Amino acid sequence: MARSVIIEDFGGPEKMKLVDREIGDPGAGEIRIRHKACGLNFIDVYQRTGLYPLDLPHALGMEAAGIVEAVGDGVTHLKPGDRAAYAAMPPGAYSDARIMPAAQVCPLPDSISFEEGAAIMLQGMTVEYLFHRVWPLLAGDTVLFHAAAGGVGLMACQWAKSEGIELIGTAGTDEKCKLALENGAAHCINYRAHDFVPEVKKLTDGAGVNVVMDGVGKDTFDGSLDCLKPLGMMISFGNASGPVDPVSLLTLANKGSLKLTRTTLFTFLADHARCQDMAKHLFSKVESGAIKVRIGQRFPIEQIVEAHRALEARQTTGSTVITL
């Protein structure tokens, strides 16, 4: 038996329940993993509310780290006793232990703690694919990154600095802007005090940026397009403020032959070899010191409702870890 957070209906944080569930043994291509810590991410909110529908009832949580207890037939990259971490489908990471597909579970280096592993997998591999696989960035490129003081944002700030990329961040308070700057952002705009579009134009001498990376969605999308250089790339990868309204292709033409993509991490992680390569790249960044893991807050699993409320209220900074 293991404790697991489930929902039986879509809705607010109060819909989550902590229940005991049987675990069982892994089948072919599966592992059983005993978690030491879990991560909290906005995709968990999207799944809880039904924005990203699940078959109900369903467990929640996309990210965790722990120790492999058993492996099924055909699993060769992991063995019992291995330290491991993942950001992977299907949801179910808010639990003491679980059975899950092995392909997207990655060996965790001894130098990275379980809490760090749980804090970096989804956010860190998101930054890895945004910087290197959607539209590979080069030293000297300029990037506008919204929510720069969040978990993904702070990793993006550090990643950009390590590779000579000029990152302009946005955040909702002066304190969060200061945090983004301390983590490597070249500039950070308090979007509650200033319209970020003219501020970006001012910082780029009117040229705009090469790339926008926008996990906020509805509230920032139109302004983000206005921040791009001609031929620039708009990467929409989240919708914390709500889904983006439909976009006319003529809008992209009129604003300078812009490029637009809506990405998801799990498309990139679906291939086993690519997933493992992404994790190794992320781990190398952490082990080199280029990425310092910032755990802004911890909640015991018994307080998962409070954790979701804090996340949705934008009261968190850095990564949030669920302790077991």
Domains of the chain, residue spans: 2-121+283-323, 123-265
Cβ-based neighbour number of residue 271 at 10 Å = 13
What counts of helices (H) and strands (E) characterise the chain? 10, 16
Classified as helix, coil or strand, 124 is: helix
Q: pLDDT (tens digit, 9 = 90+) per residue, 59-102? A: 999 999 999 999 999 999 999 999 999 999 999 999 999 999 99
- The model's pTM: 0.92
Cα–Cα separations (whole angstroms), residue 183 to 37, 39, 193: 24, 21, 21
Q: Which of 149, 146, 187 is nearest to 168 (CA)?
A: 187
Q: What is the pLDDT of residue 316?
A: 85
Alpha helix (H) residue ranges in 66-173: 114-129, 151-162
Report phi then psi at 223, rounded to 5. -65, -35
- Say if residue 317's pLDDT is above 90: no
Helix (H) or strand (E) holding 4: strand 2-7
Q: What is the pLDDT of residue 315?
A: 86
Domains 2-121+283-323 and 123-265 share a fold: no
Confidence of residue 294 (pLDDT cuts 50, 70, 90): confident
- Say if residue 275's pLDDT is above 80: yes
Q: pLDDT (tens digit, 9 = 90+) per residue, 122-137? A: 999 999 999 999 999 9
d(CA 236, CA 196) in angstroms, rounded, equals 17
Confidence of residue 241 (pLDDT cuts 50, 70, 90): confident
Domain 2-121+283-323 CATH assignment equals 3.90.180.10: yes
- Say if residue 24's pLDDT is above 90: yes
CA angle 111, 116, 118 (to 5 degrees): 125
* Fold exhibited by the domain 123-265: Rossmann fold (3.40.50)
Q: What is the pLDDT of residue 264?
A: 92
- Say if residue 240's pLDDT is above 80: no
